[in-house]
Amino acid sequence: MLALSLDMGGTHVGCAVVRDKQILATDSLETKAAQSLASLLPAIAETLLALLRECGESVGSCEGLAIGFPGIVDARTGKILSTLKKYEDGMQLDLSAWSRDTFHLPLRIENDARMALLGEQFAGCAQDARDVVMMTLGTGIGGAAMLQGTLLRGAHAQAGCLGGHMPIDYRGRLCACGNIGCAEAEAAGWSLPGIVRDHLKFASSTLATVEKVNFRALFDAADAGDEVALDVRKHCLEVWSADAVALIHSYDPEIVVMGGGVMHRADVILPFVQNHVDKHAWTAWGKPRVRAAQLGERAGLLGAVPLLMEVF
């Protein structure tokens, strides 16, 4: 199957032409200055058409366009139902009509973490499993669940995709979603700078001199022995581990896939989370394996083919 694919992240849109398990051509569009999703559509269309020319393919050879979107999406109706202060006009857009008018192609849209899970199960680290949960660690924490080879969606299209909003600390930090103590509020890219600044010894930390406090800076400082970085890194590892156990207790997976930019330090993260799962997850059959996503930023893009193949 040949398809067009979009992965709409918080700061960029990944664009690709995919054939089965292969990406034929890809490009990325920055979205920081974009005022709306509607304002991005012309550039997205131009980029996809350029990618088709680059790989010598035509729109007429494609089966459809698939979009991974950072919000609550109903793939069955092709509607964006809810967003968190990003692409808020998407709920009013008829993207299916845009796809038909622009490309003469049917459109499928799905939550971005679900798309990434589809990609990993189709072409990545979870090809040998039918019961899988995924955590994507980045600006936020995405989640997705697959049971018996089928994505979990639920009556209101939000089942399984709010893994980052499992309450980890009921006395914790206020989350962007309105809840208290979500995993995302306690250990995500957007919440990390505040967590670091709130540490009692922040002023004496090397992180106080860092222009942008992100997970790369945190792990580097921890490697160098910085006390604040070590404390906060341990806190994040414990939050991610608790979130993994919550997902295991909720969905009974064989495999927990961890993806996102933070997994450049899988050497630290995977053993810690696996050890916590082995000690604390209540299972009657054995322990789920914790694996690093194999496909990186390609996972959501490669999820296009299985999404377009789904029959609703």
Co-location of 230 and 303 in the same domain: no
Separation between Cα atoms, residue 41 and residue 60, nearest integer Å = 20
Say if residue 84's pLDDT is above 80: no
Co-location of 149 and 92 in the same domain: no
Per-residue pLDDT of 190-236, as tens digits, reads: 999 999 999 999 999 999 999 999 999 999 999 999 999 999 999 99
Co-location of 134 and 107 in the same domain: no
Co-location of 73 and 105 in the same domain: yes
Co-location of 169 and 44 in the same domain: no
Is 178 domain-assigned? yes
Of the candidates 174, 151, 175, which has an alpha carbon nearest to the alpha carbon of residue 161? Answer: 151
Report the range of poorest mean pLDDT among 28-37, 116-125, 173-182.
28-37
Co-location of 91 and 240 in the same domain: no
Co-location of 29 and 113 in the same domain: yes
Question: Where do we find the tokens 């709130």?
Answer: 198
- Does residue 223 contact residue 152 with C-beta atoms inside 8 Å? no
Measured in whole angstroms, how far is the alpha carbon of residue 155 from the centre of its chain?
A: 21
The per-residue pLDDT for 33 is: 67
Number of structural domains, the chain?
A: 2
C-alpha distances in Å from residue 8, one per residue of 37, 94, 107, 194: 10, 16, 15, 25
Separation between Cα atoms, residue 238 and residue 269, nearest integer Å = 10
Is 123 domain-assigned? no
Per-residue pLDDT of 225-243, as tens digits, reads: 999 999 999 999 999 999 9
Say if residue 123's pLDDT is above 80: yes
Co-location of 135 and 102 in the same domain: no
Co-location of 226 and 84 in the same domain: no
Partner residues linked to 271 by β-bridges: none
Q: Which backbone phi and psi does 120 adopt, to 5 degrees?
A: -70, -35
Question: What CATH number is given to the structural domain containing 107?
Answer: 3.30.420.40
Co-location of 243 and 302 in the same domain: no
Is 122 domain-assigned? no
Domain extent, residue 12, equals 2-117+298-309
**Cα 194–Cα 199–Cα 200 angle in degrees, nearest 5:** 140
Co-location of 68 and 158 in the same domain: no
Strands 22-30 and 12-19: antiparallel
